[in-house]
Each structure stands twice: as structure tokens, then as C-alpha cells.
Structure 1
Amino acid sequence: MIFPSSFESKLGFEKIRTIISELCATEGGREILAEVKFSSTFAEVEENLVLTNEMKTIINMENSFPGSGFSDFAYLVKRIRIEGTFLEAEELLKLRNALGVVRDLALFFKREEAVKYPRLKELAQPVSLSPVMVDKIDAIVTKHGKVKDNASPDLQSIRRSISEKQSQVSKRLHSILKAAQADGYVDEDATISIREGRAVIPIPAGNKRKLKGLVLGESATGKTFFIEPVEVVELNNELRELEFAERREVIKILTDLANFLRPYIPELLDAALFLSTIDFIRAKGLFAIRIDGIMPLLNQGPKLEWTKARHPLLEIVLKREKKPIVPLNIPLSSKDRLLIISGPNAGGKSVCLKTVGLLQYMLQCGFLVPMSENSEMGIFQHLLVDIGDEQSLENDLSTYSSHLMAMKAFLRYASPNSLILIDEFGTGTEPALGGAIAESILEKLAAQGSWGVITTHYTNLKLMAGKITGIQNGAMLFDVVKIQPLFQLETGKPGSSFAFEIAHKIGLPDDVLAAAREKAGTSHIDFEKQLRAISRDKRYWEEKRSGVKNSEKRLEQLIEKYETELSDLQSNRKLVVDKAKQEAKDLLSGVNKQIENTIRTIKEANAEKVKTKTARQELEEVRSKVEADDSSSDEWVTKKMEQLQARQKRKSEKPDGVVKILEPEKIVPNAPLQKGDKVRLIGRDTIGEVYEASEKNVIVAFGSMLTTIDKGKVERISNNEYKQAVKETKAPVTSHGVDTMKMRMNFSNTLDVRGMRGDATMQAVQEYIDEAVMLDISDGRILHGKGNGILRELIRSYLKTIPDVSHFADEQLQMGGSGITVIKFR
């Protein structure tokens, strides 16, 4: 049940049809669109949504999809059903091109990659076109829509004769024209013209008797006559006869071709229907892309839990005006099925109501809807709307009577499978009586288990939400400081109409407003004040809670960062200390060997035993002192390590007993980077050479790979540091000093860009792709989330421009679906 009959016009679905109709390329597609109807069958709705969603993905991702050249040809096929009929050459060319598109579509969905689009693949499965039809048309008709000369031997002979006869006529006419010009009765600049399909000579009216022939016309002024000379009359007659013969032969060829195609008419009509269907689905996909439509989570029963829902027509208008749209979160559940929305006039209540009705209707007609992908939508059996009025002079219906007629239908069809939408519930009659009737109707609708969204200004209806199970309040938020609506829906509390505030802003006199407050009564005014106070306090605490939540998040990030840094510091410190201890032991071992050699020398020299004993005692003291210091503290070990490294360095600098002092290379701080400068990635060991520098970025050569990097991510190093880094690198190093093995070990196949802004996202993606290509990575993943899909489309548009990216697509549904882009590199 859809109520009323003007449902589509009231909600704006007629405009949706018009927009999609303009996106259809064929009349057949528009006819299918015109027949689209509301469906309450889950399988049918799901089928239509999946087909549209697959087509949307194809349009966005598949460049090889034949999405152009669609044209109607069913009417051409139907014309040759009767024996003896035929199609003209231009019509045959149109048929041939359309069949080519159908063939390309069928081949596209038969490819191995088409397994990603199972419903469309299944739709294309029955399509089968015999190639002999296209071959036969190609053998007869040129690509310009003309019958070929060699379509038959007789046609080829006739056209050869026509060409020869035209040459004779032309030569004879030029001869006559030159003679007439020489005699002076034809203008010097005169040329041969065509009148009634025959070649003629233009001659001034005063000289028309001087040239014998047939007058076939005159100019608009009457000053020039067009005469066919008597000498070429017979030639032109023969030429005309040949043209008639040509036409008879062409008709014979086209009739034979129609006879050949006639047995294939059922196959051709199926192909025409398939092309129109694909055109219709393609138009729906294009519209879905335009409004950022998605396929939500479907439920077989009633369900309405929407996140970031948007009115498609309003969004199109606001995009044109470069204004943002405020999305709506509408949570209805089996516990709270009816939502009573209140708030100020022009605050967005009616837009919210129409958004619910239009999106639900679109979904059950098979169209993708603009909302977040985690939204859930169900299937309703009845959609009942009361927006505006249905006044009728013929039926003697007033505004309020029309509302009551709608309520009668609502009460009749109200059930747990009904979605009811009522705008300005209870208006149209005396407020007290209208409010009472509206309250009774609302009780009945709640008792019957109906789902719905209702807008009202009546206080008694707002108070009902706290008393009756199944009804909840909602408010369109209002900025009490700026006295303007925010167009945001908040559920769980009623809204104030802000009538006095709006009236004061408009400029009504204060004494008038004061009198109105007295007439309204203190109880009503107090109720409105309490609503405003609750709204203000809730917004305050919401902002406080958001601030605390952000602070906690930043604190957690800092704690995690410091714990990681501390862990790395402890790990690195242990490695350095262990190394220092080992070097100290090695040095001690060397000293021991040297002393033992000294003792041996003393023995060989027959030194005194007392001196030898004394030397040994000193040796043991040195050994004990070193070992005690070695285990005493890490600070001592670190200091000794530095001393040993300095000593080894001094030894290496004076191999011949001469100390060589190296002057440190001077680096000008804050000097702009230039071509040839040596740089290091901040926080990493990767080094490279500046290839080109601009105001914000530099192009750095890391080996054979050129990468564009923000200047703030690199630091200048000296040539000595650069050479030392290359010298000390043990892993495979490229020509510019990039440690590819180390980079490959540190490379992560997954890049997470959620929460990043557009510029920062694209910079991170660019660096990720460059590094993956340089390291010869085979595949990768970019985690961008679902959201509105803007970040996903931005990333994939960039990936299309990268030659080294062979393929990219959504991750498997159970592993993240469209929130992750999987990349295959060449």
C-alpha cells in the first residue's frame, strides 16, 4: 500500500526519475525506468540494489567497460518482421553498431575478472549473438552508412557506368560553358550548377535565347536562368536511368539482407532488451555516484537505523551553490518505532520527514541511497504519507478534512510492517481539539506497532513520548545565541519552537511579546524554558565530554609513544653496553698478553725473581681493577667504551706515527637545499642526494629511485658523513647509498591513512607507493576506511596514474571490504 497516489510528487521521487532519465542513452532504458515500482519483496529489492552497486563499481574501477555507443534498435528489428520489408543502409549501420556494443558487453562479463560482478555476469549469461549477422552487414554497408560498390556484381557494373556517364556530361558541359563564355553571353565567373538533380549552366535572363536547351529554373531575382543544354539532355536522361537501376539493385540487396536477418529476430530482440536493461542500470549507477549513494546493510523485516543520511535532491542543489549539507542520524528500533520531531519553524523538520520517505522509497525501488555504509535499512509493506493537504472542491474536502481522510487510511493499514510519515500532526483545526484527536490517533498507531516519523508543535504530543512505549522524542537543534536553526536532529528529547525568540529577532514590539507571554500562561512558558535550558546544558556537557575524550586520546598516544621510546632506549643501551664490555675485555686480554711477553723476556734475561713476582702482582692488581670496574656500573663502561673508540680512532689516523687532523666540513645552518646536497631521512638511516629542490619539496635520489619528499622530512649531512655511511653499510647498497635490505625489513605492506587530511593522505600514499616500487614489493594494502568514500576515490584516482600499479580493488568483505584498497604491483 502506497498512500496517497501523489506519493512520488510529494516526496520528490518524480525529480529523481527525471534526472536518471537524462542519464539513460536509450529510449528502452527510459521505458524500463518509467515502469520502476515500489517493491516489498526482499529478494527483488536486494537483486536490484546489488545490480546497481556492481555497476557503480564497474564505472569507477573498470576502464575497459564499454559504457558508450548505446542506442535503441528494437524498433528496427520489428520493422523487418514482414516479408519484403528492408532497412536502409544508414539504419543497418545503426543496427550493426548497437550489436557491436552488445557483443562487447557480453565479452566483458565473460572475462575471468567479471567474477567480481556475479549478478551482472548472470544477467549477461543468456545473451548470444551470431557473429554472421555483423559480418553480413559489414560485407554490404560501409562505416559511413552507404551500400558498398561490391555488394553485388550488378551494382558494381551500374555504378561504373554512372561514373563514366557523369564524366561525359561534365566534359560536354564544360565545353559548352567555355564556348558560351567566349561568345560573351555567359559571365566569366559562371560555374556548372545542379537543378532537380541535373547539371545546368547559369545564364543571364537577357541571353537565355542564345543557349538552346531546357530551362530548369531561375534565381530568386529572376536575373539568372538555369539551362540544361540540348546537347547533354540525352546524356542526363541516360544518367537518370542508371540511377534508377542503381536504386532497384540497392533495394534488392537490402531486401536479401533483411531476409537473411529475419530468422534471427528473437535473438536480436533479446539483445535489444539486454542493452536497454544495462543502459538503465548504468544510469542508476551514474546517479549513485553523483549523490554518493551506497548499498546499506539490508534487513528482511522493518529496520531504520540510519547514519549520515542526506536528501539527494537537496544535496545536488547545495553542491551547485557550494554549500555543505547537514546529514541526519535517524535511529528507530523495535523498542522506539515512532519518532516525534519538534523544533522551530524552518528548522528542518519537514526536510527530515521527506528524507526518510524518499530514501526508503528509493531503496525499495532498487536505487542506492546517500548515507553511511554502516546504516541498516529494512523492508516495509506499506508507506503512508501525509504532507501538505489534499483539498478537493469536487469532493468538498477542506484542509483538515483531507488530513482526517489520511488518518483514516493510516489507521486501516497501520501494522508492524508500515512506515507512516505525518507532517505538522494535528494542525488544520482548533488547537485544543486537534491536539486531542492527534493524541488519540498516535496512541492507536503505537498500539498497532507502526513505524513512523511525525513532526509537530503540540506540547501534548511531546509529553506522550515519555508515557507511551514505542514513542520517542526528537528535536531539530537551534542556536539560541545566533537565533538560527542548526538543521541537526537529536533524539531523546523534545524541541522548543523558539516562537518568542524568533518573533523578537524579526522585530515584533516587546509589549506585544510580553502580552503574548501572559496569554500563553506560565506553565507553557516554563515548559519551553526548561526545554531550552536542557538543550543548552546538554550541548555544554557534550562539548565537555568531547574535550575530555580528545584529551584522553592524546594522553594515550603520548603514553604509547613514550613507552615505545623507552623500550627502544633500553634495548639500544643494552646493546651499546654489551659491546663496550666486550671491547674492554678484548683490550684487557691484549694487555695481559703484552705483560706476559714482558715477563717471558725478563726470565730469558735472568732477571731477579723478586722483580718478576712484583710485576706479576701488579698485573693481577690491574686485572682485578679492570674486572671490578667492568661490573661496577654501566656509566663507567660507557665512558671506557668512548675512550677506547677514541684511542682506536687516533691510532687509525696516524699509521706512520704522524697525527693527521681532519678539518670538519662546515655546514651552513638553515641554508636552502640545492642540487647535489647530501641528505638523510629524519629518524632513519636512509641517505640520498638532492636531485632538484623547490619551495616546499625536494626530489631526492635514493639509489636509482627519484622520490618527492617534503623538505621537513630530510636533514642535510656533510660529504664526510655521507661517505662514512656508505662505507659502513654492510647490507646491499644502491649507487646513492640506500640500504635496500634494511628498508625492506622495515617496510610495512599496510598503510593506515584513516583520520588524515587530503594533502597529508596523498603525501603518505605517494611515499608509500614510491618505496614499494623501489623495493620491488609485489602487493600492498591501504586502510582508508569507508566513510563517504571521498578518501577512497581520491586514493584510487591517484593509483590509476601510476604505471607500476597493475591492479587495485576492494579487500574481501570479511577482511574490510571497501574500507581497504588492495594493490598489485607489476
Structure 2
Amino acid sequence: MLYPNTIEQKLGFDKLRELLKEACISPLGRSYVEKIRFSDNFGMVEKLVSQTAEMKKVMEIGEDFPSQNYLDATPFLKRAAIEGMLLTLEEFSDLKASLQTIRLCLRFFENQEPESFPLLSEFAKTVRIDRAITDAIDKIIDDRGQIRDTASPELARIRRKLISEQAGIRKKLDNMLRSAKNSGWISEDVSLTVRNGRMVIPLAAEHKRKLKGFIHDESSTGQTVFIEPTDVFESNNEIRELEYEERREINRILMHLTDQLRTFVPDLQKAYAFLGLMDFLRAKAKIAIQMNATNPTFVNKQFIDWKDARHPLLHLSFQKQGKKVVPLNIELQDKNRILIVSGPNAGGKSVSLKTVGLIQYMHQCGLLVPVADGSAIGFFQNIFIDIGDEQSLENDLSTYSSHLTNMRYFLTLANKRTLFLIDEFGTGTEPGLGGAIAEAILEDLTKSGAYGVINTHYTNLKVLADKTEGLVNGAMRFDGEHLEPIYQLEIGRPGSSFAFEIASKIGLPNTVINRAKDKLGKQQVSFEKLLKELDIERKVFAEKNIEVGIKERKLTQQLSEYTKLKSNLENNEKKLVNEAKQKAKNLLADANQLIENTIREIKENKAEKEKTKTVRTELEKFGKKNLALEEVEELPSEDNVFEPEDGAITVGSYVRIAGQTAIGEVLALKGKDAEIRIGDLKSNIKLNRLEKVSNKTYKAATGEKKLKTSSKGVDLNERMMNFSFNLDIRGKRGEEALGVLDSFMDNAIMLGYDELRVVHGKGDGILRTLVRNHLRGYSHVANMQDEHPDRGGAGVTIVKLK
């Protein structure tokens, strides 16, 4: 079900239909374009879209697929089906050319694997063109669309005689023409011509009495007459009679050929339906290629999951101008099925809305859609839209009344299979009342389970979307610094209308703008301000995420290299150990051999003192050479810095956790637990896990002196939760601003932040200068710079910490 009946005009599908007609070659294809309708049959939509996808593939890879002579011969077939009717030579010529195109289409699919183009190949198998009729037409009509001389023996005889007569009469006329030129009756550049189907001689009017014959015509100036000489009059009559005979014979041949064709008309009509479909699918595929359209995953349930969706008509228009459309990423699921889009005027809300409607409508009309690969598209039985002004003088409807009429229709018929689109929801009446009615309508639409996209400026609808399941906020992004739209849809947060900023840029007096803010109230102004600041922080965090991603990749690479190095070191260690063991074995074997030899020599020499002494000396040399130990420098152990101290652990004692190197101070004793401070962190540890250490050990480990007063410790988790890297000191006096800045810097340094953002505004630059001069006094500050122009420029200082 569609609503209203002008939905195609409102979405722009009527323009797309015209583009499809222009892309068709023949009336056959254009007749299919006229029949395009939105389908609520899932199987039908799937089939139509798949056919188009197959044809797009054919056009991308099928160089042999025909691209001409998609001629509509169906009117000829209707006449041929009537007994006694004959088709003209021109009609048979078109029939022959178009049948050849059909045969080429069929041959293309016959030569392909069936699984390559399953739907089109299957359809092609149902088309039958009997070779008997195509051979019969080829036998009669040549490739130039003329009757062959061999079409019949009688036609061949007539044409031979006709050629002979024409040659004879030309010979006579050439002689007469030459004689006339010699006599000066005509100029040298004149040649024979034909008038009323008869060969004649052009002759100057003043000499027309000098050549006997019949005057057929004269020139527009009257200075030349065209004379058929008396000597060739009979020959011309003979030629004329032969031409009549030729015409009668051709008609007889065409009548016979039409009779042959008549029995094949039913099959040929089906073949031309196939040809029309091919022309239509070629047009759809051609448009799809132009807009880089795809066939997304089609699922028989209600949802939208589109990546890089582009408005089809806008894409084609921008393509001609060499520009690119900003793509739309949108996802509507069961829990977030109604998107509330907000943002400034001229920010792209209406284009986004129509993009959603037109793409869904296109797909359920059987067309490919301009979304990126990886997208998925759902199925809706109803599409309702409320776009534009439906003011009606005939029905006495105002703009707001027409919107409410549409809403009544939506509320009555919307269900879980409905997609609705509403542009500028609730406008046309007093804002307070319009916003309240819009909120009530939205609550009922949410209960219906329908899916939809709504554009609005009403804050109450943004708040409702934030706290209601089924609704989700969306914002058209806007450059708050330059007050220019970015045309990107961001789902998950509401957008600001930037009304005050745009008014200021246009040049509205500041006094008027400030009074408007006062009249609006602090709550609304703060809400808009918060939206803008959130947008700035989102941009900053997006850049930080990119940096973190780069660092993570580097860390992963370094970890991989470390793991590889560790594995190599372990392998090398094993190799060294194995080599050492092998050397030890060899050394032991040599030593054993030497000892045995020594014992043997001592026995053989019967323990002679000199010989025994010499053998022992050699044995000692061997031992010193192979068994001496290398000197190893002893490295200081980390454990050496700990000097344990006797005595019980009390408040103020210095301790370390057993088995660890961290040194801390005891802040309090709680039964068997002790609260200790290690650096800036505090923690509760069991007493039996603590070892008391000396003051010297504490100083050596931390470089600190014992504090005279007890420290209360710092809860870093709490500070981390409450800390924001973005400090806004706009509107504060100098002394107050510097106090806030000092507290901000203390927390940032303690928490280890490396980059901070201080928003001080531009103005006359006084607060900026004060802030930067003060920050230069911090030894932790590495440098300062202006923020990117898109996020505040000179009104924001980026502080880099060491």
C-alpha cells in the first residue's frame, strides 16, 4: 500500500522512470518501463531485482550481447495473423533485423554456463524461433532489406530483361546527349536524368524545338526542360511495363512469405516479448552502472542497513558536474526503528529522508540501488510519506490541516510492515501546540511497530527519542566554526539547529540575539550549547581513536617482533647448551683417555719419580687449559637495596609487599589489614604480606623524604571518572579562570594525560594571553597551539604535556 497517490512525484521516481525510457532503444522496452509498479510480493521483487543484476553482469562482461536493432515488429505480426494481409518489404526488413537480434540474445545465453545467469538463461529457453521462417525470410530478403533476384524464377527473368532494356535505352540516350552537346544545345556538364520514372535529356529551353520528344518537366527557373526523345519512347514504355511486372511479382512473393509467417505468429509474439524484456533490462542495467548501483542482501523482514547510500538522481546530476554525493550510512533495527533527524536548515535532512524513501521504492520496483557492498535491505508492504505542502483550495485544507490528515492516515493504517517518512514533523501551527501534538502522534507510531524517518526541529521530540525504546536520535553534521553543512548523518545523538549562530553570521544585531536567548530560557540555550560541545568532543575523540589505533598497530607489531626474538633466543640458548654438553662429553672422553694413558705409563715405568712427575705436570696443564672457569662480573641485585627493619608495623612505617619491589607508607591499620600509600595510589593489604623496611630503603627506592604530616591518599578512580580533558573557562574573570586552570592542570598531571584542551574563546584575546602566559610557568607543559579551525581555532588552546 502506498500513500499518497503522488508518492512517485514526491520521491522523484517519475524522473527516474523518464531516464529509463531514454535508455531504452525501442518502444518494446519503453512499454515495460510504463508497467513498472511497486510490489509488495517478496518473491516477485527478488526475481525482478535478480534479473536486473544478471543483465548488469551481462553488460559488464558480455561483449557479444547485441546492442542494436531492438525493433518492435509486434504490429506487423498482428496484421500478418489476418488472412489475406501481406507485409511490406520495409516491414519484412525490420522483422528480419529484429529476429537476428533475438537469435543473438538466445545464442549468448546458450553459450554461457546456466549458473552464471540462471533467471535469464531459464527465460531464454522458453523462447522458440523456428529456423524454417528465418530461412524463408533470408531466402527472399537480403541484408540490405531488398528482395533478392533469386526470390523466384519469374522475378529473375523480369529483372534480367529490365536490365537489358535499360542498357539499350541508355546507349541511345548517350548518343543523343553527345550530339546535343556537340550542337551546343546543352552544356558539357549535363547528364541524363529521370522524370516520372522515365529517362530524359535536360535541354536548354531555347533549343527544345530542335529535339523531337515529350516534355516531362522543366526547371524552377524555366531555363531547362526535360525531354524524352521520340526514338526511346517505346523503350521507356517497355521498361515501365517491366517495372509493373516486377512490382506484381514482388507482391506475390511477399504475400506467399506472409502466409508462411502466419503459422509462426504465436511463437514470434513471445519472442518479441523476450526482446522487449532484454531492452528493458538493458536500460535498468545501464542506469545501475551509471549510478554504481548494487544488489544488496534482500531479507524478508523489516529493517534497513545501508552503507554509503546515495540519492540516485543527485548522484547522476553530480556525476555530470564532476562532483561526488556525500553518502548516507543508516541502520534501522527493531529497537531503533524510528530515526528522529535534527539539525540546521539546508543541512541535508530532506535529501536524506528522500534518499531512504526513493532507494526502498526503487528496490521494490525491481531496480538495483546505489548502496555499497555489504549493505542489506529489508521488505516493506506499505510506504507512507508526508513530504512537502499538500495545501488544497478545493478541499479547504491549510498546510497544517493537510499534515494532520496524513497523520490520521498513518495512525490508522501503519503496522510492523510499514515504512513512513515525515518531513518537518509538527510544523505549520503554533510551535508549543505543534510540538505537543507531534509528540503524541510519535508515541502512537512507536507503539504500532512501524519503521520510519522523521525530520524535526522540536527539542521535545529529541528528548523523547533519547528515553524511548524504538526511537533513536540522528543529526545532520554541521561545521559550527564556519557555519557550513557537512551533509553527513550521524545516528545516536540529536543535532543543534544553530539558529543563534546562523543569525549572528547573517549579521543580526547581538542585542537582538541576546534578548532572544533570554526569552528562550537557560535550559534550552544550555541544551543547544551542550550539543555543540559534544560535537566538538566527538571530533577530538575520533582523531584520538585514530592515533590510538596507529599506536596499537605499532604495539602489535613490536609484540610480534619481541615474541619472534624471544623464540630465537630460546632456540639459540638450547643450541648453545647442546653444544656445551657435546664439548663436555668430548672433553670428558679426552680426559679419561689421558688419565688411562698416564696410569699406564706410570705402571710401565714402575713409578719412576722423574717420569711420574712429568706425566702429572702434563695432566695439570690439561686441567688448567680445559677446566679453568671464566671470571664473571657480579651484577648488583635489586634485592640488595632492601634493608629489612625489625619491629612491628605501625602507622607511618615504610613497608614493601612481599615478593615485590614497590615501597609504600602505612596510612592506617584496620585489624589484620593495613591501608598503604604507594606513590599516588592507596590500597588495603593484608599485614602478613607486608615487610617493614628502613627509611634509607624508602629514600633509595622513591627519592622522597618522610612526610611530617600524614597523607590522606588520593582516590584516582574517582578523579579519573570525574575528569574531562576539555576545560571551558569562557565568561570567567582572570583570577577565577587561573584558579580553575591550576586545579585542572594538577589533576591532568596526576592522571598522566598527554594532551589537554582549554576553551577560552576569541574575543579580544585577553583571556587567551593570560592562560598561555600562566601555562608557560608549568615545567610539565611541552608546548601550546591553536585548535584546528573546524573545532574552534584561536578560541581554543591545545596543551601538550611532557
**Same fold (TM > 0.5):** yes
Contact 1:337 1:451 (8 Å CA) reproduced = yes
Partner residue in 2 for 1:490? 490
1: CA distance, partners of 2:349 / 2:284: 28
Q: Within 5 Å, which residues of 2 pair with 1:221-236?
A: 221-236=221-236
1: CA distance, partners of 2:226 / 2:618: 134
Partner residue in 2 for 1:360? 360
Q: Within 5 Å, which residues of 2 pair with 1:237-316?
A: 237-316=237-316
Q: Deviations over 1:765-813 (max 9, x none)?
A: xxxxxxxxxxxxxxxxxxxxxxxxxxxxxxxxxxxxxxxxxxxxxxxxx
Counterpart check, 1:169 vs 2:169: yes
Using a 3 Å threshold, how does the CA distance of structure 1 residues 186 and 262 change in structure 2: closer, same or farther? same
2: CA distance, partners of 1:617 / 1:213: 155
Partner residue in 1 for 2:596? none
Partner residue in 2 for 1:348? 348
2: CA distance, partners of 1:128 / 1:86: 23
2: CA distance, partners of 1:11 / 1:210: 79
Using a 3 Å threshold, how does the CA distance of structure 1 residues 313 and 573 change in structure 2: closer, same or farther? farther
Using a 3 Å threshold, how does the CA distance of structure 1 residues 542 and 186 change in structure 2: closer, same or farther? closer
Partner residue in 2 for 1:216? 216
Q: Deviations over 1:586-631 (max 9, x none)?
A: x99xxx9xxxxxxxxxxxxxxxxx99999999999999999989x9
Partner residue in 2 for 1:538? 538
Report the residue type matching 1:273 in the other structure: A
Q: Deviations over 1:303-328 (max 9, x none)?
A: 11222211111112222222232211
Partner residue in 2 for 1:480? 480
Report the residue type matching 1:319 in the other structure: Q
2: CA distance, partners of 1:291 / 1:49: 16
Quote the offset at 1:536 in angstroms. 2.0
Q: Within 5 Å, which residues of 2 pair with 1:184-223?
A: 184-223=184-223
Contact 2:362 2:369 (8 Å CA) reproduced = yes
Partner residue in 1 for 2:689? none
Contact 1:108 1:114 (8 Å CA) reproduced = no
Report the residue type matching 1:516 in the other structure: A
Report the residue type matching 2:154 in the other structure: D
1: CA distance, partners of 2:100 / 2:412: 54
Moved more, 419-428 or 307-316: 307-316
Using a 3 Å threshold, how does the CA distance of structure 1 residues 517 and 238 change in structure 2: closer, same or farther? same
Report the residue type matching 2:492 in the other structure: G
2: CA distance, partners of 1:204 / 1:619: 145
2: CA distance, partners of 1:173 / 1:567: 107
Partner residue in 2 for 1:697? none
Partner residue in 1 for 2:511? 511
Q: Deviations over 1:638-691 (max 9, x none)?
A: xxxxxxxxxxxxxxxxxxxxxxxxxxxxxxxxxxxxxxxxxxxxxxxxxxxxxx
Report the residue type matching 2:449 in the other structure: G
TM-score, normalised with respect to structure 1: 0.69
Report the residue type matching 2:518 in the other structure: E
Quote the offset at 1:541 in angstroms. 2.1
Using a 3 Å threshold, how does the CA distance of structure 1 residues 389 and 168 change in structure 2: closer, same or farther? same
Partner residue in 1 for 2:119? 119
Using a 3 Å threshold, how does the CA distance of structure 1 residues 511 and 617 change in structure 2: closer, same or farther? same
Instruction: Give SS of 1:139's match.
Output: helix
2: CA distance, partners of 1:197 / 1:450: 76
Partner residue in 2 for 1:100? 100
2: CA distance, partners of 1:54 / 1:123: 12
Quote the offset at 1:568 in angstroms. 6.9
2: CA distance, partners of 1:283 / 1:86: 33
Partner residue in 2 for 1:381? 381
Instruction: Give SS of 2:264's match.
Output: helix
Count residues with an aligned counterpart.
618
1: CA distance, partners of 2:33 / 2:296: 22
Using a 3 Å threshold, how does the CA distance of structure 1 residues 10 and 621 change in structure 2: closer, same or farther? farther
Report the residue type matching 2:46 in the other structure: E
Report the residue type matching 1:540 in the other structure: V
Using a 3 Å threshold, how does the CA distance of structure 1 residues 292 and 557 change in structure 2: closer, same or farther? farther
Contact 1:474 1:489 (8 Å CA) reproduced = yes
Using a 3 Å threshold, how does the CA distance of structure 1 residues 440 and 188 change in structure 2: closer, same or farther? same
1: CA distance, partners of 2:449 / 2:464: 16
Q: Within 5 Å, which residues of 2 pair with 1:392-403?
A: 392-403=392-403
Partner residue in 1 for 2:422? 422
Using a 3 Å threshold, how does the CA distance of structure 1 residues 337 and 144 change in structure 2: closer, same or farther? same
Instruction: Give SS of 1:548's match.
Output: helix
Using a 3 Å threshold, how does the CA distance of structure 1 residues 532 and 163 change in structure 2: closer, same or farther? same
Contact 2:303 2:337 (8 Å CA) reproduced = no
Q: Within 5 Å, which residues of 2 pair with 1:684-699?
A: none
Q: Deviations over 1:44-80 (max 9, x none)?
A: 1111111111222222233343444433222222221
Instruction: Give SS of 2:461's match.
Output: helix
Report the residue type matching 2:477 in the other structure: L
Partner residue in 2 for 1:501? 501
Q: Within 5 Å, which residues of 2 pair with 1:792-811?
A: none
TM-score, normalised with respect to structure 2: 0.71
2: CA distance, partners of 1:612 / 1:54: 104
2: CA distance, partners of 1:305 / 1:13: 21
Using a 3 Å threshold, how does the CA distance of structure 1 residues 162 and 564 change in structure 2: closer, same or farther? farther
5+ residue gaps, structure 1, are 593-609, 633-826
2: CA distance, partners of 1:243 / 1:529: 93
1: CA distance, partners of 2:88 / 2:611: 124
Partner residue in 1 for 2:554? 554
2: CA distance, partners of 1:370 / 1:157: 63
Moved more, 417-426 or 435-444: 435-444
2: CA distance, partners of 1:496 / 1:333: 25
Partner residue in 2 for 1:322? 322
2: CA distance, partners of 1:429 / 1:342: 19
Using a 3 Å threshold, how does the CA distance of structure 1 residues 616 and 34 change in structure 2: closer, same or farther? farther
Using a 3 Å threshold, how does the CA distance of structure 1 residues 212 and 121 change in structure 2: closer, same or farther? same
Report the residue type matching 2:486 in the other structure: L
Contact 1:414 1:450 (8 Å CA) reproduced = yes
Instruction: Give SS of 2:113's match.
Output: helix
Partner residue in 2 for 1:109? 109
Q: Within 5 Å, which residues of 2 pair with 1:417-816?
A: 417-561=417-561, 563-564=563-564
Report the residue type matching 1:206 in the other structure: E
Using a 3 Å threshold, how does the CA distance of structure 1 residues 115 and 514 change in structure 2: closer, same or farther? same
Q: Deviations over 1:166-197 (max 9, x none)?
A: 01110111111222223332333322121122
Quote the offset at 1:425 in angstroms. 0.5
Report the residue type matching 2:99 in the other structure: L
Bigger Rg, which one: 2
Quote the offset at 1:377 in angstroms. 1.6
Using a 3 Å threshold, how does the CA distance of structure 1 residues 185 and 501 change in structure 2: closer, same or farther? same
